[in-house]
Amino acid sequence: MAEKEYAYFSGCSLEGTAKEYDESLRVVMKALGVNLVEPDDWSCCGSTPAHTVDHVFAAALAARNLCLVEKMNKEVLTTPCPSCLMAFKKAQYNMSRDDAFKGEVNELLDEAYNCGVESKSSLQIIYEDIGLDAIAARVTHIMPDLKVAPYYGCILSRPPEIAQFDDPENPVSMDKVLTAAGIDVRDFAFKMECCGAAFGVPKQEMVNRLSAKVLEMALDAGANCIAVACPLCQQNLDLRQEQVNKTMGSNFNIPIIYFTQLMGLAYGFSPKELGMDKVIVSADKITRRITKEEYAKIKEEEAAAKKPQKAKKEAAAEETNN
């Protein structure tokens, strides 16, 4: 496999409360032959708070980083965090379409940004650039007890004109990536419903109520785990799950696992390497693994055991017909 290389922006959350997302993504990307290069001395993208102050200011905070990537002579930047992604994509979109806006942003920067960097989510890189065949080829283990609801969050594919990825109402990229990794994926009606986003601290109860809907719908879909691609979704659903139970009088106990952690488990990496010990609701009980070969053997035996039954049934049916 030819090595691929991208500029990589982990973002602030992935150095803190979402460490396991960074750890698992790096492990999986390496296994898939992708090299990630961090821009030197990157800064915060500005996230939600910056665009409540001013749009030029918000774009400048994002563009400082895009400028660093430009200097690395890289044309594509990948980030696992949807909030960073949206900050970069909006800066790029507005600056490349509006010269006056671009000028105003560049006035706030030390070095002008020339709009030469395209930002893509790490999910997009895995889905489009690596592809389902390569994802499937690396699988070594099957998790027979695991049933996953893939949860995309609000902004991975929205708004469509800016996101330029997957479907804005019914995205399927994570469903397909996890299925290729041998994971049982359930149809999930709330795959884009908002978890409460950045309001966890100032509006805890509201966030708990919104998160509860997502958790409940995942259970209704027959899942015992939710796969996520966003640090904020993970935090609201996992770290705050006990709060949700207190607020709602519920009894949820659903592991919330980054899709990259699940891929890593299917690739045979140890739970420790993938930061599985960092999630609050443990996934130990549902992530029992057997090798792909063992799994194939079990399936064969099951099929063989069914055959005589089927033959018997057919014979019986024939007798009744006669």
User: Which residue reads 């895009």 in tokens?
Assistant: 66
**100 is an interface residue for another protein by CB under 8 A:** no
Number of residues in contact with another protein, rule: CB under 8 A?
Answer: 58
**54 is an interface residue for another protein by CB under 8 A:** yes
Among 4, 51, 176, 186, indicate the residue that binds another protein (CB under 8 A): 51
> Which of 10-18, 27-35, 220-228, 252-260 is the region at the interface with another protein (rule: CB under 8 A)?
10-18
Rounded Cα distance between 181 and 251, Å, is 30
**13 is an interface residue for another protein by CB under 8 A:** yes
Closer CB to another protein, residue 197 or residue 228?
A: 197
| Residues 151 to 170 in contact with another protein, rule: CB under 8 A | 154-155, 158-160, 168-169
| Residues 248 to 287 in contact with another protein, rule: CB under 8 A | 277-278, 280
**93 is an interface residue for another protein by CB under 8 A:** no
Strand partners, 36: 6
**Number of C-beta neighbours around residue 2 at 10 A:** 4
Whether 23 and 264 have beta carbons less than 8 Å apart is answered as no
Closer CB to another protein, residue 64 or residue 138?
A: 64
Give the residue among 232, 142, 124 at the shortest CA–CA distance from 182.
142
Among 5, 38, 49, 282, indicate the residue that binds another protein (CB under 8 A): 49
What are the start-end ranges of the H helices in 159-203? 160-163, 173-180
**198 is an interface residue for another protein by CB under 8 A:** yes
Q: How far is the CB of 305 from another protein (least distance, A)?
A: 44
**194 is an interface residue for another protein by CB under 8 A:** yes
Q: How far is the CB of 155 from another protein (least distance, A)?
A: 6
**226 is an interface residue for another protein by CB under 8 A:** no
Q: How far is the CB of 253 from another protein (least distance, A)?
A: 15
Whether 94 and 101 have beta carbons less than 8 Å apart is answered as yes
* Inter-CA distances, 16 with 13, 22, 178, 200, 239, Å: 5, 10, 25, 16, 13
Beta strands in the chain (DSSP E): 4-8, 34-37, 76-79, 118-121, 141-142, 147-151, 184-185, 225-228, 256-258, 290-291
Q: How far is the CB of 140 from another protein (least distance, A)?
A: 27
Rounded Cα distance between 184 and 120, Å, is 26
Closer CB to another protein, residue 53 or residue 137?
A: 53
290: left (phi over 0), alpha (psi -120 to 50) or beta: beta
Total count of residues recorded for the chain: 322
**150 is an interface residue for another protein by CB under 8 A:** no
Q: How far is the CB of 35 from another protein (least distance, A)?
A: 23
Q: How far is the CB of 9 from another protein (least distance, A)?
A: 11
Over its C-alpha atoms, the chain yields an Rg (Å, rounded) of 22
Q: How far is the CB of 136 from another protein (least distance, A)?
A: 31
Rounded to the nearest 5°, which phi and psi values hold at 290? Answer: -130, 155
Q: Where on the chain is the footprint of another protein (CB under 8 A)?
A: 12-13, 15-19, 41-44, 46-57, 60-61, 64, 107-110, 154-155, 158-160, 168-169, 192-194, 196-204, 206, 210, 239-240, 242-243, 277-278, 280
